[in-house]
């Protein structure tokens, strides 16, 4: 499949006898937004970690931005980035220093200008000189997102990007992400428990249950398919094992 | 310089910048770097002054104890400069961000070497200045061979630091005390303050595979006989090449294992 940002086939991850992810196959086209839905332990973070190269799959193949990711991930890592509330940035470095360091790691040119732009866009200008460890949870989420966007990635992996944000900031952040995605043509994978967020941002959704692909489709199609009114109701049906066609 | 090599140098530079920010952002850390070596020098300096007047052995080579303390500290600081600085990534739960970036594990190791050198120069340099000011002992009186002593001990420290970092990557921060224990476990057989000939035969065999034992043997030859013996320094250098390669292999291996078992996302405080 040409034009795919991600192609995953037969992906599985086993921890001893426990299958964290099993037989996962999907593709994500360039410029599309894919939501990963599932309860705790459904395999979302494991899948994201394999897409970032932080975790080696037990079996299966991953192609990212046209490259065999398991063999040549360094060819594409400069064009990927991620944000997760569960992975911190160095606490003692200021936001500016953190962004400078990551700009260096990703080979960003005109790093000062890039940091200033992200600071303006994400309302971080007053926080650049503050150590990351002294930020509130919401401020950390924005700083982490700035790090995720530092290299203008073609593939952005987001694990609960609006966790810890107040509704107003979360809403503005979603608008920003949507605008960024449309302007850059980046592909985005979004793992979230916020169903409204998924409905608003995602073109396509993968529903995971116990490490397996449960269903996939556009949010509106899934809602229709399961005869529900919201994606949250579909999710609850899946999580509680009562979804039937 | 090829594009990929330049990119690699740039990433190493970014990591060095990260550790320099960490260092300059905390003056207690800079003081701590110099504090322990300086305390050692004060203690051993007075002991040395006393022994020089009561021991014919030390009277022949005043300053040998201070030189030994300073050089031993190079190895200790070199090791800590790799392992403890690596722990910073675990304390801040930053490994996930680092290794989702284009940073290679060997580039991280290279940055750790550079920052270890810088920290060692600060810590041991301050102690050497103190020894000169307080005891009129100049470490530089050893001459250019000091560079060979310094580099051999520093590289041995790096090799041990990589092993410790690898073990912590494998077993988690519960193993961090190894950073403090590892070098001291080698102290008795490194011949720092005495020739290894005083050791039991089987420990002499152990000492012969340690680069530090060759360095301190050469240091004593310089102080007591005023000669530079090159052979032990070459032997130490050869052993260091082997140990550094082994340390790096272990670090890269445990990094691969961490990717296999999902520890890059989970390791931390």
Nearest chain B residue (CA) to A104: B14
pLDDT in tens, B78-106: 999 999 999 989 888 889 999 999 999 99
Chain B residues 24-83 within an 8 A CB cutoff of chain A: 25-26
Please indicate, yes or no, if residue A103 is contained in any of the structural domains. no
DSSP code of A94? Answer: B
CB contacts of B86 in chain A (<8 Å) are none
Phi (first) and psi of residue A15, to 5 degrees = -110, 95
pLDDT in tens, A80-123: 999 988 888 999 999 999 999 999 999 999 999 999 999 999 99
Give the pLDDT score at B268.
53
Contacts of B237 (CB under 8 A, 6+ apart): B148, B152, B211
In a domain, A13, yes or no: yes
- Is A146 within 8 Å of chain B by CB? no
Supply the DSSP string of A177-244, one letter for each residue. Answer: HHHHHHHH--EEEEE-S-HHHHHHH-SEEEEEETTEEEEEE-HHHHHHHTT-SSHHHHHHHHHTT---
**Residue of B26, B86, B101 to mutate, testing the A interface (most A Cβ within 10 Å of its Cβ):** B101
Per-residue pLDDT of A187-229, as tens digits, reads 999 998 888 889 889 999 999 998 999 999 999 999 999 888 8
Number of domains in chain A: 1
pLDDT computed for residue A2 by the predictor: 47
B6 at A interface, C-beta within 8 A: no
| A217 in any annotated domain | yes
The structure's pTM equals 0.91
Could you report the per-residue pLDDT of A51-66, keeping only the tens digit for each?
999 999 999 999 999 9
Is pLDDT above 80 for A7? yes
Please give the pLDDT value at position B177: 83
The chain-wide mean pLDDT, for chain A, equals: 91
If we measure between CA atoms, which residue out of B9, B190, B164 comes closest to residue B82? B164
Q: Which two tokens stand for residue A74?
A: 């360094």
The answer to whether residue A84 neighbours chain B at the CB level (below 8 Å) is yes
A174 within some domain? yes
Assess if residue A61 is contained within a domain: yes
What confidence tier does A245 reach under pLDDT thresholds 50, 70, 90?
very low
pLDDT at A238 over 60: yes
Digit-coded pLDDT (tens) for B46-72: 888 888 777 777 766 778 889 999 999
Q: Domain segments of chain B: what residues? A: 3-266
Candidate from A45, A78, A92 with C-beta closest to B26: A92
Average pLDDT over residues B202-208: 95
∠ CA A70-A198-A154, nearest 5°, is 40
Q: Test A74 with B102 for CB contact under 8 angstroms.
A: yes
Is the minimum CB–CB distance between A18 and chain B shorter than 8 Å?
no
**Residue A163 within a domain:** yes
pLDDT tens digits, one per residue of B100-112: 999 999 999 999 9
Q: Does B98 touch chain A (CB under 8 A)?
A: yes
pLDDT score at A1: 42
What is the domain-level CATH number for residue A201? 3.40.50.300
Q: Quick one: how far is CA B228 from the chain centroid?
A: 23
pLDDT digits (tens, 9 = 90+) for A22-41: 999 999 999 999 999 988 88
User: Distance (Å, rounded) from C-alpha B16 to C-alpha B11?
Assistant: 9
Q: 3-state SS string over B41-60? A: HHHHHHHHHHHHCCCHHHHC
pLDDT value at position A167? 87
Q: How confident is the model at residue B26 (pLDDT cuts 50, 70, 90)?
A: confident
Which is nearest to B251 in space by CA: B148, B109, B42, B46? Answer: B109
**Model pLDDT, residue A11:** 96
Whether residue B128 is predicted with pLDDT greater than 80 in this model: the reply is yes
Handedness of CA B165, B171, B175, B181 (dihedral sign): negative
> Would you state the pLDDT for residue B29?
82
A72 CB neighbours in chain B (<8 A) are none
- Give per-residue pLDDT as tens, A125-175: 999 999 999 999 889 999 999 999 999 999 999 998 887 788 888 888 889
- Residue A127 placed within a domain: no
Confidence of residue B1 (pLDDT cuts 50, 70, 90): low
Domain range for A62 is 4-86+154-239
- CB–CB of B180/B139 below 8 Å? no
Tell me, yes or no, whether A122 lies in a domain.
Answer: no
Which residues on B lie below 8 Å from A105 (Cβ)? 11, 14-15, 98, 101-103
- CA-based nearest distance A49→chain B, Å: 8
- Tokens linked to B161: 């630091």
Contact A59, A12 (CB under 8 A): yes
Residue of B nearest to A57 (CA): B260
- CA-based nearest distance B183→chain A, Å: 28
Q: Round the average pLDDT of chain B to a whole number and report it.
A: 91
Selecting from B14, B103, B262 the residue whose C-beta is nearest the C-beta of A49 gives B262
Q: What ipTM score was computed for the predicted complex, to two decimals? A: 0.90
Residue of B88, B265, B268 to mutate, testing the A interface (most A Cβ within 10 Å of its Cβ): B265
Q: Name the most confidently modeled range: A149-153, B135-139, B190-194.
A: A149-153
Position B59 scores a pLDDT of 66
pLDDT of residue A166: 86
Given a cut of 50, whether residue B201 has pLDDT beyond it is yes
Contacts of A80 in chain B (CB under 8 A): 100
Q: Which of A53, A87, A97 sits opposite B93 (nearest CB)?
A: A87
**Closest-CA residue to B142 (of B231, B215, B36, B44):** B215
High-pLDDT (> 70) share of chain B, % = 97
Q: What is the mean pLDDT of residues A241-245?
A: 60
Assess A47–B contact: CB distance below 8 Å, yes or no.
no
User: In angstroms, rounded to a whole number, what is the distance separating the alpha carbons of residues B264 and B251?
Assistant: 13
């Amino acid at each position: 499949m040409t034009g795919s940002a991600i192609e995953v086939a037969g992906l599985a991850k086993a921890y001893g006898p426990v299958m964290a992810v099993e037989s996962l196959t999907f593709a994500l086209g360039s410029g599309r937004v894919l939501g990963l839905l599932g309860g705790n332990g459904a395999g979302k973070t494991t899948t994201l970690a394999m897409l970032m190269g932080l975790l080696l799959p037990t079996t299966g193949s991953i192609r990212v931005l046209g490259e065999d990711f398991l063999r040549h991930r360094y060819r594409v890592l400069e064009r990927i980035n991620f944000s997760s509330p569960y992975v911190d940035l160095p606490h003692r470095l200021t936001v500016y220093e953190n962004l400078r360091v990551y700009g260096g790691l990703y080979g960003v040119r005109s790093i000062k200008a890039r940091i200033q732009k992200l600071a303006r866009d994400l309302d971080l200008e007053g926080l650049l000189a503050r150590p990351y460890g002294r930020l509130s949870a919401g401020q950390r989420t924005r700083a982490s997102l700035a790090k995720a966007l530092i290299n203008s990635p073609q593939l952005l992996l987001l694990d609960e990007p609006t966790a810890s944000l107040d509704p107003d900031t979360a809403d503005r952040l979603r608008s920003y992400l949507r605008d960024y995605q449309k302007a850059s043509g980046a592909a985005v994978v979004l793992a979230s428990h916020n169903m409204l967020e998924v409905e608003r941002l995602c073109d396509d959704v993968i529903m995971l249950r116990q490490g397996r692909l449960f269903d996939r489709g556009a949010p509106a199609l899934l809602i229709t398919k399961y005869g529900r009114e919201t994606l949250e109701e579909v999710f609850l049906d899946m999580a509680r094992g009562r979804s039937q066609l | 310089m090829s594009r990929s090599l330049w990119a690699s140098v740039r990433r190493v530079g970014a990591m060095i910048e990260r550790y320099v920010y960490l260092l300059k952002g905390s003056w207690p850390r800079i003081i701590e770097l110099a504090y322990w070596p300086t305390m050692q020098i004060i203690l051993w300096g007075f002991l040395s002054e006393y022994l020089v007047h009561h021991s014919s052995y030390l009277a022949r080579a005043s300053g040998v104890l201070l030189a030994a303390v300073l050089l031993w500290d190079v190895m200790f600081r070199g090791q800590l400069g790799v392992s403890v600085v690596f722990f910073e990534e675990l304390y801040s739960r930053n490994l996930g961000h680092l290794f989702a970036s284009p940073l290679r594990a060997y580039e991280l190791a290279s940055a750790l070497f550079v920052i270890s050198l810088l920290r060692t120069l600060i810590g041991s340099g301050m102690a050497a200045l103190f020894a000169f000011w307080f005891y009129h002992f100049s470490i530089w009186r050893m001459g250019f061979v000091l560079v060979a002593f310094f580099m051999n001990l520093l590289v041995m420290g790096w090799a041990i630091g990589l092993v410790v970092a690898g073990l912590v990557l494998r077993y988690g921060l519960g193993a961090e005390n190894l950073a403090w224990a590892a070098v001291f476990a080698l102290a008795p057989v490194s011949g720092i303050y005495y020739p290894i000939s005083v050791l039991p035969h089987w420990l002499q065999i152990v000492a012969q595979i340690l680069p530090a034992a060759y360095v301190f043997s050469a240091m004593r030859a310089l102080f007591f006989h005023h000669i530079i013996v090159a052979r032990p320094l070459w032997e130490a250098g050869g052993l260091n090449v082997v140990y550094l390669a082994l340390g790096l292999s272990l670090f890269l291996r445990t990094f691969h294992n961490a990717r296999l078992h999902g520890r890059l996302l989970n390791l931390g405080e």
